[in-house]
Amino acid sequence: MKILGIESTCDETAASVVEDGRRLLSNVVVSQIDIHSEYGGVVPEVAARSHIEVINPVVNKALLDAKCDWDDIDAIAVSYAPGLIGSLMVGTLAARTLAILHDKPLYPVHHVEGHVYANFITEASDSEQFADLKLPQSVPKFPSLALCVSGLHTQLVLFHGHGDYELLGQTQDDAVGEAFDKVAKILGLPYPGGPSVDAAAEQGDPRRYRLPSARLANPYDFSFSGLKTAVLRAVQAETGNDFRFPSHELAELLTDAQRHDFAASFQHTAIKTLVDKTLAAYDAYSPASVVIAGGVAASRELRRQLRKRLPIDIEYAPMSLCTDNGAMVATLGYYQAQQIQPTDPYALEVEPSVSMTAMTWA
């Protein structure tokens, strides 16, 4: 069964064809990073317009790369929640229109749940572009503990089976990816913050600055806004300023060595919090597998710390399938197609802020 997956929740327009929920046939991602980096963050209106410009060529290229025409496609899956409303509407309307036009079943998927399904892709076609792709050897086993970490979400979720999961905890304020993006801005590192903090931290000393981690009543909940503010205060102190000094002028006062040390100290603390809580949930629930999902799953420090501290082996999806893509959407769509009826393409509405736990579908 070949499924076309469409993704446009934030600033990536993406489409992909995946066969039987595991074999990658194509993966086309057009990123708007260049457009938004000028503003230091995503501008929703600009994002929506950019999706409109490229959605059709992206879908056509996904079919072409997969050597498919419409007759080969069995169903369409689309991220219809959560995300920026204008961005979501472009992908969802495209998917609805294509489903009606080509008479294909349509499966709406939750974006964060989709990220988890990047871990189910274990094969790829022999296309040149996948030659260096290092995929997991096997699919996650249930019960599976998923650490979902993106620009908008930070959650620990226990999957009992496909579409059957419970939320153990989540962030009470900023998402961890958002904290990376904001700290990068304070330090004068380019957008998006995750990869640039990751790169700067490689040259820094993670123990140079002591930063706090939050204590919360639920051991699986997270909070990152205090850590972000602690970085700001420490940068102010280090440069001899206080809270009255404009924060956007602080970065230029830092030396490269200080910038690298701040990046490393922040990253170490943020990632240690994620790993501590994942380990606590692992001890309490004894899952058969642990997966990481979402853009922050591309973090090298997260992979290092988890590998070192988890008592079981952990496999990672390749970096290119951790950040937003259509393949994860197509893969989740495949599992839905095995268990539930498709949605009505004339009626599907986007859901900008629905949480994953309100969505258990099996």
Q: Which of 5, 21, 140, 194 binds ligand KG4 (CB under 6 A)?
A: 194
Angstrom distance (rounded) from CA 150 to CA 268: 17
Q: Which of 7, 65, 174, 181 binds ligand KG4 (CB under 6 A)?
A: 181
* Site mask for ligand KG4 (CB under 6 A), range 27-66, x = bound: ----------------------------------------
Find the shortest distance in angstroms from Cβ 286 to ligand KG4.
28
C-alpha distances out from residue 87 to 9, 81, 203, 249, 326, Å? 5, 10, 36, 32, 14
Q: Which does 195 bind (CB under 5 to 8 A by kind): Zn ion, ligand KG4, none?
A: ligand KG4
Residue 324 in the binding site for ligand KG4 (CB under 6 A): yes
Nearest by Cα to 51 from 12, 15, 23: 12
Pair 124, 66: CB distance under 8 Å: no
Site for ligand KG4 (CB under 6 A): how many residues? 19
Q: Which of 195, 326, 342, 345 binds ligand KG4 (CB under 6 A)?
A: 195
Residue of minimal CB distance from Zn ion? Answer: 150
Angstrom distance (rounded) from CA 163 to CA 1: 19
C-alpha distances out from residue 294 to 120, 257, 259, Å? 14, 30, 26
Q: Which of 198, 221, 261, 351 binds ligand KG4 (CB under 6 A)?
A: 198
**b/e code 171-191 from CB counts within 10 Å (16+ = b):** beebbbbbbbbbbbbbbbbeb
Quick one: which segment of 102-110, 187-195, 276-284, 309-317 binds ligand KG4 (CB under 6 A)?
Answer: 187-195
Find the shortest distance in angstroms from Cβ 325 to Zn ion.
9
Site for Zn ion (CB under 5 A): how many residues? 2
* Site mask for ligand KG4 (CB under 6 A), range 123-162, x = bound: ---------------------------xxx----------
Strands 106-110 and 123-124: what pairing?
A: unpaired
Residue 324 in the binding site for Zn ion (CB under 5 A): yes
- Rounded to 5 degrees, what are φ and ψ at 247? -65, -25
Find the shortest distance in angstroms from Cβ 14 to Zn ion.
10
Residue 169 in the binding site for ligand KG4 (CB under 6 A): no
Nearest by Cα to 78 from 44, 50, 107: 107
Q: Which of 79, 150, 196, 236 binds Zn ion (CB under 5 A)?
A: 150
Nearest by Cα to 25 from 331, 333, 274: 331
Q: Which of 177, 206, 342, 345 binds ligand KG4 (CB under 6 A)?
A: 177
**143 cis-preceded (ω within 30 degrees of 0):** yes
Please count the other Cβ atoms lying within 10 Å of the Cβ belonging to residue 355. 15
C-alpha distances out from residue 285 to 145, 280, 282, Å? 8, 9, 5
Q: Three-state DSSP class for 310? A: coil
Which residues partner with 13 through β-bridges? 30
Q: Which of 21, 287, 295, 326 binds ligand KG4 (CB under 6 A)?
A: 295
Find the shortest distance in angstroms from Cβ 307 to ligand KG4.
15
Nearer to Zn ion, 295 or 342 (CB): 295
* Site mask for ligand KG4 (CB under 6 A), range 3-32, x = bound: -------x----------------------
Angstrom distance (rounded) from CA 212 to CA 77: 41
Q: Which residues bind ligand KG4 (CB under 6 A)?
A: 10, 150-152, 177, 180-181, 192-195, 198, 294-296, 298-299, 323-324
Q: Which residues bind Zn ion (CB under 5 A)?
A: 150, 324
